[in-house]
Amino acid sequence: MLRLGSKYQHFAAGCSCSAPILQRVSQRLAGLSRRQFLAGLTGAVVASTMPGRALAQPQPEKILFRNVRLFDGKSDSLQSGAQVLVSGNRIAEVDFANNAPPENAEIIDCADRVLMPGLIDAHWHTLYAAVPMQVLMSGDLGMIFTISTAEAQRTLMRGFTTVRDMGGPVFSFGQAIDRGIIPGPRIFPSGTMITTSGGHGDLRMPYEIPRDGETLSLSELMGASSIVDDVGDLNRRVREQLLQGASQVKLVGGGGVSSPRSPLDISTFSRDEIRSAVQVARDWNTYVTVHAYAPITVQRAIDAGASCVEHAHLMDEETAQMMAEKDVWLSTQPFLTMADAASQTGPGAERAQQIFDRTPTLYEWVRKYGIKTAWGSDILFSQELAPRQSNMLTHLANWYSNAQALRMATSTNAELLALSGPRSPYIGKLGVIEPEALADILVVNGNPLEDIALLEKPDENLAIIMKDGKFAKQSLT
């Protein structure tokens, strides 16, 4: 049995509530095999030895990007003849007068390339995008975190400097990125997906049903999901995510594609339950977003005061009108073919096809009723599929101009992130190139406003990737 170090034994001995706490800790640890514990430790060691900011080459405090065509994240067209000054982790100046560079600034001649904000994915799963389902269900923490560490760097190298994580134990992972221990995008974490029994996110194995008192399932122990069936437990789980640093809270209001026993048409949380969670989030000055596909599920979320709905591909026109009238955000994905969900098989593949069939209608209603819409990719369980994050963005060109699509993936997504208010992990504007904004910058070989498909090949077409004023990639001499 694992033992606490002497320092912590001394602390426990002096704490009047130590006995029940230590008993619960022992019970939790006893539920993990030695292999699982060592695997988790291995993952932590791998993460802590990755090269990061402390090992990087020193960088000048000020960097001037000259001779750029500017897409500022908000405009319909490029602005020529610009130069952009970065100081520390902020954009200090956007200049069209070609003023002399400040002393000691590094000057980068972009040779008329396009400079634009870093991309934002509003529905990403940092720990699960590239992890195969069989690895996830094994509970092998070392493998999960090793795969996810590699994928976080690849995500950044695709030009995604910020993601809103929609389910998973990413709190420590995000801190490791912020401290420069591992490379990756900044993360707006939701923490665990909060679901009911039988909802999307209830991934219990048959031997874990029925629940044995307070015993948690493997997915709950890992922080992937929380299964609640009364308002008291629901509010507790919401508060626990906020306590750990969640910037927003995700409720699972119905079934899903990747949960084989949870059909798309079902609804789980009641209006009153969602309303209760919304109130807790408001008490913390942030918001609830609800995973929902079916019309009644979306309507419940809207009626209960949720600020955002995820997916909503199966909603009807009446529900779309309701969403627009109530000024509720829609965070959705332009799924088109099985190439966008190749990791799904069996019931998952059948449900994915329902989504593909309804995607065009969804975007028609979005445009018809002016629904506030964010873009996300929601890729899961495949290292081969994860690079299609970029392709999912370019799918937007089926309904939007290239400039509109790029605005959605930059300044519009940043507006959704801003709903977190004081619960935001980061201070500063995102998704725009303007003074005082955080210095998340891409320099593109070619013009994505003319050919958005350039972003499908980031290795070739992203000459510079800067996040928080630091180069993740710099291929210009």
Summarize pLDDT for 160-194 with one digit per residue, the tens.
999 999 999 999 999 999 999 999 999 999 999 99
- Burial label for 24, CB within 10 Å (0-12, 13-18, 19+), is exposed
Q: Which single residue is written with the structure tokens 């609800």?
A: 290
- pLDDT for position 100: 92
Query: In what helix (H) or strand (E) does residue 8 lie, and over which residues does it extend?
Result: helix 6-13
Say which DSSP state 58 is in. Answer: P
The CA distance from 351 to 374, in Å, is 22
**Alpha helices, DSSP H, located in 370-457:** 389-394, 402-407, 413-417
pLDDT at 23 over 80: no
Are the CB atoms for 461 and 454 separated by under 8 Å?
A: yes
What does each C-alpha distance from 26 to 17, 42, 280 come to in angstroms? 15, 21, 31
Does 80 score more than 50 pLDDT? yes
**Averaged confidence pLDDT in the chain:** 89
Two tokens at 161? 């400097």
Work out the end-to-end distance of the chain between its first and last CA atoms, rounded to an integer number of angstroms. 57
pLDDT at 296: 98
Tens-place pLDDT, residues 288-313: 999 999 999 999 999 999 999 999 99
Q: Cis link prior to 210 (omega < 30° from 0)?
A: yes
Domains annotated for the chain, with CATH where assigned, are 1-30 (no CATH), 61-118+432-474 (2.30.40.10), 120-399 (3.20.20.140)
Q: Distance (Å, rounded) from C-alpha 429 to C-alpha 240?
A: 27
Which structure tokens are listed for 90? Answer: 């902020």
pLDDT band (50, 70, 90) for residue 345: confident
Q: Are 381 and 258 in contact (CB under 8 A)?
A: yes
Q: How far is CA 382 from CA 48, 186, 338, 378, in A?
A: 24, 21, 13, 12
CA-nearest of 352, 386, 425, 380 to 168 is: 380
Q: What pLDDT, on the 0 to 100 scale, is given for residue 184?
A: 98
Instruction: Evaluate if residue 39 carries a pLDDT over 50.
Output: no
The mean per-residue pLDDT over the stretch 220-225 comes to 92
Measured from the Cβ of residue 441, the count of other Cβ atoms closer than 10 Å reads 25
Q: Is the pLDDT of residue 52 over 60?
A: no
> Does the pLDDT of residue 448 top 90, yes or no?
yes
| Calpha distance 234→225 (Å, rounded) | 12
Q: Is the pLDDT of residue 8 over 80?
A: no
Has residue 196 got a pLDDT over 90?
A: yes
Torsion 336-339-340-342 (CA) sign: positive
Query: For residue 255, with 0-12 CB atoms within 10 Å meaning exposed, 13-18 middle and 19 or more buried, which class applies?
Result: buried
Ranking 41-55, 346-360, 375-389 by mean pLDDT, the lowest is 41-55
pLDDT at 258: 83
Positive or negative CA dihedral for 454, 460, 464, 467? positive
What sections of 291-410 are H helices per DSSP? 295-303, 317-325, 347-369, 389-394, 402-407
Burial of 153 (0-12, 13-18, 19+ CB in 10 A): middle
What pLDDT sits at residue 60?
86
The DSSP H or E segment spanning 310 is strand 308-311
pLDDT value for 57: 62
Q: Taking the alpha carbons of 287, 352, 396, 474 in that order, is the dihedral positive or negative?
A: positive
Residue 2 has pLDDT above 50, yes or no: no
| Predicted local confidence at residue 321, as pLDDT | 98
- Rounded Cα distance between 229 and 296, Å, is 19
Q: Which pLDDT does position 48 carry in this prediction?
A: 41
pLDDT value for 291 = 98
The proportion of the chain whose per-residue pLDDT surpasses 90, expressed as a percent, equals 79
- Alpha carbon distance 106, 317 (integer Å): 54
pTM for the full model? 0.89
Judge contact between 323 and 331, C-beta under 8 A.
no
For residue 148, pLDDT beyond 50: yes
The token pair at 242 is: 């906020």
* Spatial distance between the Cα atoms of 62 and 104, rounded to a whole number of angstroms: 7
Return the higher-pLDDT residue of 28 and 12: 28
If you search the block for the tokens 């319909």, which residue do you land on? 76
* Residues 370-398: tens digit of each pLDDT: 999 999 999 999 999 999 999 999 999 99
Residues of the chain with pLDDT > 70: what percent?
88
Q: So what's the pLDDT on residue 299?
A: 98
